[in-house]
Amino acid sequence: MKKEDVLLRSREENKKGDELQKSNKSKSEGYGYYTISIILLVFAILTEFDAVKGVVDIFGMQIQFRDFCFLSMILSLFVECISKYYFLRKKRYLAFSIFWAIGFLAGMGRVFGL
């Protein structure tokens, strides 16, 4: 084969992206979700020991910082699972996303007294 043919075939095979790039992108997105969840969990735990406290004011509604951290963490886990289900189409991620959605709605109900 000629050099040009090999290069053309290689370009066609890599149109959707290199496997290493796809893998690195997927890993970095996963690490981002986990990092945010861990940070929120640490803040939520610190509120249990009164090291961090306060109230978050959103559209005139006041939410305890502890509840805000837990709800944000649950919401980020829901987004992670639903996006994994969307891209990978594995039913376990759908089940996890339903679990986290129910947890988020229950938490919202508890916070706002619904």
Scan for tokens 């938490």, then name that residue: 107
Write out the chain's pLDDT in tens, 114 residues: 677 777 777 777 766 666 666 676 667 677 777 888 888 888 888 988 989 888 988 888 888 888 888 898 899 889 888 988 888 888 999 999 999 999 999 999 988 877
- For the chain, how big is the Rg over CA atoms in Å? 21
Tokens of 50: 């009164």
Q: What are the E-state strand segments in 36-95?
A: 55-58, 61-64
